[in-house]
Amino acid sequence: MSCRLAITFLIAVVLLGCGKGAPSTPPAPLPGDAIISGKGITIDGKQIPIPFTRDQIVAVLGPPSRTLQQTDAILIWDDKGIRASIKKEGDQGSVIHLVLDYGDTEGNWPMKSFTHSIWINSVQLTVSSKAADLQAAGFKRHASASFLWTLEVGDCSVLSHTDLQTLSLNLVSLSEKMK
């Protein structure tokens, strides 16, 4: 009887892989997630190049909730947590901000947060992301401001801002790389 029990146990261990379970698949972007690449940002399979025109960004995000006229025109999608800058002369857009938890009280930023994930170099970033996550994506801490992180991706520069208290990610900005 004990021989049968031992053989049954060995067969079970082999079939079950020593208790390891099935290999897990890495997470993948979901609809609404933002994927940042060296050419721009892709949301729902539609790319906004960097630099961009007003027509290009509106084609992907729809009309902005509001537009502020400052030094540059500021387009704000309150319900999406996205803000973009368009130069007044010409129609060239230069910066896209994904606001994860900015806490603006002056009305210059979206009223809601970007609630989806941001993918950079196959690393998923969210409002819960910390320094180790930013480092895994390739970010380097800014030399003079410990809450800022920078990354060059192809033709783009990515700047991330972390909360000073919680050190969690609250803003990701994408712009054209300085030449």
pLDDT, tens digit, for every residue of 85-139? 998 777 888 899 999 886 766 788 999 999 999 999 999 999 888 889 999 999 9
Amino acid symbol at 51: P
Q: What is the pLDDT of residue 24?
A: 63
The pTM of this model reads: 0.81
Which pLDDT score, from 0 to 100, does residue 107 have? 82
* Strand 34-37 versus strand 118-120 pairing type: parallel
Which CATH number describes the domain made up of 34-176? Answer: 3.40.33.10
Q: Sketch the domain layout of the chain as residue ranges.
A: 34-176
Q: What does the pLDDT average to over 39-50? A: 93
pLDDT of res. 14: 40
Q: What is the pLDDT of residue 5?
A: 43
Distance CA 49, CA 177 (A): 12
Higher-confidence residue: 24 or 153?
153
Peptide bond just before 31 cis, omega within 30 deg: no
Segment 155-177 shows an average pLDDT of 85
